[in-house]
Chain A
């Protein structure tokens, strides 16, 4: 198990109602982590209901959902924003 800090931005943050959380996880990839997160609460499930437009950064570098989590301390999820 590893501890990772997870950050949520925009409508992910709004749906989960927290900007960050620390989780213990055995997830191998980002996709595995998301699969774990959606079981945590209905709010998490709603946030990741359609992850196709959500992007992920591992330790502040843009990555992808099949990327490995080994050695990663921070995972940030963010969607595109539209407003101007």
Chain B
């Protein structure tokens, strides 16, 4: 008689006891996490806490894409990478750290710079995609792929002392990236972390918020950040929640009909 493979390894379940104790997650929610498949683009500042918390949370399949190698200036904030891995591919370093945190999740590292074709192939079938990249062209490319596939895109971004986080999901009523930010600003207006600097704990804050939001999206717990953009200014202690909406004339998602209400 054929038997289906058990969801958890024999020694695995006790590590999720504190999730299972939560009314909003429980056994069914933990099962959803175990069966979930997420794509994390970027294994840098934001990717570090995202990957570590999602692996610890027991998200069954994690694919991580990054073409960079570990350098000394990463270690001030990219806590998934260690001193003895300088020069190593970030995805390989991430695989090592995650295997040490939770050997029961499957992590696939892809050391490449995301292109449009890769994005389409990698996004297909994911439960949720997390944008932890460091440039707007890749963010827009990933947005286009997620809109086409109808996959929620959980997006976070940081600069200096501030972060932004929201869920782009036009298939479920929320705007896409191009609805909210249709134009890419000039390079000198929106400098990257290398030029502008970034406070070390900031990606820990925004990346951990993204990990929490991913756990909510996968389990259905609480109220998601669809249609809500969080602006967080750690330097001045300012936080704002902005209600955001789809644009009818959005070049990326205008043809998509909303088939599920936004929650």
Binding site for B on A (CB under 8 A): 7, 9-11, 13-14, 19-20, 50, 52-53, 55, 57, 60-62, 76, 78-84
Contact = CB atoms under 8 A, between A and B. Distances in A.
Interface string B122-161: 0000000001111110010000000000000000111110
Nearest to B50: A84
B181 A53 contact: yes
Contact of B193 (A9, A10, A79, A83): A83
B67 interface: no
Contacts of A57: 240, 242-243
Interface residues of B, number: 46
B251 to A, nearest CB: 16
Interface in B140-188: 156-160, 162-164, 180-181, 183-186
10 contacts: A9-B162, A9-B240, A10-B159, A10-B160, A20-B238, A81-B163, A82-B192, A84-B44, A84-B47, A84-B134
Main secondary structure of the interface of A (DSSP, over half): mixed
B241 interface: yes
Contacts of B46: 84
Given A9-B231, A76-B231, A82 B245 contact: no
B193 A80 contact: no
A21 to B, nearest CB: 12
B181 A7 contact: no
A50 B183 CA distance: 11
B238 A7 contact: yes
A62 B180 contact: yes
Nearest to A54: B185
B204 interface: no
B73 to A, nearest CB: 13
Interface in B189-205: 189-193, 196, 198, 203
A61 B136 contact: no
B231 A79 contact: no
A52 B183 CA distance: 7
Given A60-B242, A81-B159, 5 more contacts: A10-B162, A57-B242, A62-B229, A82-B191, A84-B134
Of A13, A62, A78, A83, most buried by chain B (CB within 10 Å of CB) is A83
B60 interface: no
B189 A11 contact: yes
A50 B45 contact: no
Nearest to B190: A82
Given A53-B189, A82-B190, A84-B42, A76 B162 contact: no
